[in-house]
Amino acid sequence: MTARISPSILTADFANLERELGRIASADLVHVDVMDNHFVPNLTFGQRMVESLQRVSSLPLDVHLMIDDPDRWAPGYAEAGAFSVTFHAEAVTDAVGLARRLRQIGARAGIAVKPGTPIEPYLELLPEFDQVLVMTVEPGFGGQKFMESTMPKLRLLREATARSGLDVWLQVDGGISEKTIGIAAEAGADTFVAGSSVFNAGGPEEQIALLRAAAGSHVH
């Protein structure tokens, strides 16, 4: 299996997003970080931005909602055409109900956990999800240091998917670079969000290739 690379436009130039998408054409997905300044202490953009990106992006949009009350807001992102919509376990009221709703609209359903949130309660819900996002930094900002302390969660998830035979993508987000991606891949991740390491690189396409190669030998 090859690693999926999902560059996060959080570190891109917001005034030139269409052009920025053109710099990452070899990526598998585009990671779109929606922040509401309540769930996290930072503010980005909302559904209209996702609709606009959807019109110009040839890559699938991987929407990561760092917002309160996803039960209310997440379906709109699926309706906007997002390929996947991931909400936070800490913010949702009815995780299974919301995941079913997202799938019904036609999006992949994802659940995310912050570094301090245990994964055990969600293992039995894996059949309800298409992807799980393990945050490897505190959500809110790009450019933070990868937290290796989160890796046991990936091992548990990988064991659970292997045992059940479920095809649930295991995603990591935060501090992913050519130095850390192998650690996450070895622990069980197969989908890698990378913001600053891709968009701050001189050549984003070269950096994507570098990340793919560094993950490649470890991905299960």
Active site positions, annotated = 33, 173
Interaction between residue 6 and ligand DX5 (CB under 6 A): no
Residues 30-49 that bind ligand DX5 (CB under 6 A): 31, 33
| Distance in Å, CB of 162 to ligand DX5, minimum | 26
CB 194 within 8 A of CB 6: yes
Q: Which is nearer to Zn ion, 64 or 158 (CB)?
A: 64
Which x/- pattern over 107-146 shows residues binding ligand DX5 (rule: CB under 6 A)?
------------------------------x-xxxxxx--
- CB-based contacts of 114, cutoff 8 Å, min separation 6: 88, 90, 135, 138, 139
In the complex, the smallest distance separating the C-beta of residue 160 from Zn ion, rounded to whole angstroms, is 22
**Binding of ligand DX5 by 67 (CB under 6 A):** no
Could you say whether residue 20 binds ligand DX5 (CB under 6 A)? Answer: no
Q: Alpha carbon of 215 to those of 1, 160, 172: distances in Å?
A: 11, 21, 12
Pairing of β 84-88 and β 191-194: unpaired
Cβ atoms of 22 and 59 within 8 Å: the answer is no
Instruction: Tell me which residue has its CB nearest to Zn ion.
Output: 64
